[in-house]
Amino acid sequence: MTGAMTPDAITGRLRAALAGGGPGETGPGEMGLDGAGTGEAGTGETGLDRDAAGAAVLDAEISPDMVTVTVPPQAWVAALACARDDLDCDFFDWLTGVDELDAGVAVLAHVYSLAGRHHLVLRTLLPGEPSLPTATGIYRGAAWHERETHEMFGVVFEGHPGLDPLLLPDGFENVPLRKNFVLAARRERDWPGAKEPGEQDGARGRRRPPPPGIHDGWPAS
């Protein structure tokens, strides 16, 4: 059991693990919190090039109650394994996505140490067609959350035991929580605050065309 850990200790252990070193070790390719390398390049146990692995912790945000660490997609599973095995984060809380428009889809997972009482959010950003290795081999509780994130954000979790529909009806092909998803209700109801005073009343008599992707017979009720 690790007990209580400081934010610097958490990010330091993540850097060491992604560079191929064990907990608390300082080896070739490990990065300090200032981003400076401390050794020669090579290949770590994670399969990442040590130069890339040492810089795999792309960003760390520290708040009084939370440490949020961004890692590249290829380090996702290794970071989760480090959280469970080295940081004692034995409680998996949630996993979800965030549509960051042109940057891609971010996937975030929140884990917690029952012994040390420290929180950690791991984050990665997926450009293009979002795909990520499943976390179910590290945290079995991620299965339900990955199914939901697959449905709502279109992220494919490679190796997942079954990305079956969870919330949406069979045959539904869109991803409702992506920002390019058309809200059909906007055809029938004005968006609050979208019009100047008096403009809304004058526009009621005009027939508005349906948004892209919404057929003309979509009911008003």
In angstroms, the CA 20 to CA 54 distance is 9
DSSP secondary structure string, 73-142?
GGGHHHHHHHHHHTS---EEEEEEEEE-GGG-EEEEEEEE-TTT--EEEEEEEE-SS-EEE-STTT-TTH
> Among candidates 93, 90, 74, 72, which has minimal Cα distance to 82?
90
pLDDT at 13 over 60: yes
- How are beta strands 91-99 and 105-112 bridged, if at all? antiparallel
Average pLDDT in the chain: 77
- Determine the average pLDDT of the residues in 153-166: 93
List pLDDT tens digits, range 40-67.
Answer: 333 334 444 444 444 567 788 998 889 9
- How are beta strands 131-133 and 156-158 bridged, if at all? parallel
In angstroms, the CA 191 to CA 124 distance is 33
Query: pLDDT > 70: what percent of the chain?
Result: 65
List pLDDT tens digits, range 160-214.
Answer: 999 988 898 888 888 899 998 877 665 556 656 555 555 455 444 455 555 555 5
List pLDDT tens digits, range 185-198.
Answer: 655 566 565 555 55
